[in-house]
Amino acid sequence: MAITLDGKLVVAISSRALFDFEQENQIFEQGDDRAYMQLQRERLDVPATPGVAFSLVQKLLAFNEPDAQRVEVVILSRNDPVSGLRVMKSAAHYALPIIRCTFTRGEPPWRYLQPLKANLFLSTHLSDVRAALAAGVPAAQVYPHSAHASDAHPHEVRIAFDGDAVLFSDEAERVYQDQGLRAFQQHEMDKVALPLPDGPFKPLLVALHRMQQAKTPAMRIRTALVTARSAPAHERAIRTLMDWNIDIDEAMFLGGLDKGEFLREFEPDFFFDDQTGHIESAARHVPSGHVVSGVRN
């Protein structure tokens, strides 16, 4: 019987999103990949420290049980294979059960997302994220300077999403950009009973919802919608989630307030937003990723 990842939550992640390789990357950015490779070779047995997305990956992998493998994490990296060896040794050091990996030595690795049937791709490379989103894979550019996740919720994966251009399409956002707030509010009131079109991260939310329903004893999932919308535009967003038959645990309709401090209190393992301003604010408090989609991008 052929081995397949069907039915699993598949997360593809770059080495710099999972581990802190910023010091090594400075050498790579100087254009000397040989020096970078040599440094990684010299540090082969030195485990890298956890990166921005480490907590998310560690907790998602905890959903796996001997008789129920629900999550697969795959390293998808621009590293060369020798440098990749350090990545995999670091994963083993932290007892992360990651067995699949692809190292492309500078070539774009996103093209392997579709064979993996990935539900999420996390990378520090903007071009790879753009290409993944264009191919229909939920993807975000990880901000390496983001704060790391709190350890306050060891048995709960917490994920926060923006609404427009992330969970939902940018249909309403385009109205706001073109015609202003008043027109946006009227548009949403007029279409309140019509579900918003799907955004790039709906498939991930659906996959997480399936895992929520599984009710594994070791881990739980808690989700939040954190949006600049406010009443009366909140209703269409909630009705859309109802139409999708998906329960969001928390919803914050902030009416343009800074999201960072609210996210600090929610303490997510990751936050996804399409606007760099929101990401910069959030990154001071929580792990954050830029969803490079919609009219803003």
Q: In what order do the strands lie in the sheet with 139-142?
A: 100-103, 71-77, 9-13, 120-123, 139-142, 288-290, 270-273, 156-161, 220-227, 250-253
CB atoms near residue 153 (< 10 Å): 16
CB 160 within 8 A of CB 263: yes
29: tokens are: 């950015």
Per the CB < 8 A criterion, the answer to whether 283 and 53 are in contact is no
In DSSP terms, 157 is beta-bridged to 221
Using alpha carbons, list the distances in angstroms from residue 252 to 99, 112, 162, 229, 258. Answer: 38, 35, 10, 9, 12
Strand partners, 142: 289
Dihedral in degrees, nearest 10, Cα atoms 8, 198, 136, 227: -90
DSSP string, 4-45: --TTSEEEEE-HHHHB--HHHHHHHHTT-HHHHHHHHHHTTT
Contact, 290 vs 128, CB < 8 A?
no
For residue 269, indicate whether it is catalytic. no
The angle formed by the CA atoms of residues 185, 280 and 263, to the nearest 5 degrees, is 70
- Three-state SS across 68-81? ECCEEEEEEECCCH
Which of the residues 6, 45, 67, 162 is marked catalytic?
A: 162
Catalogue the active-site residues.
162
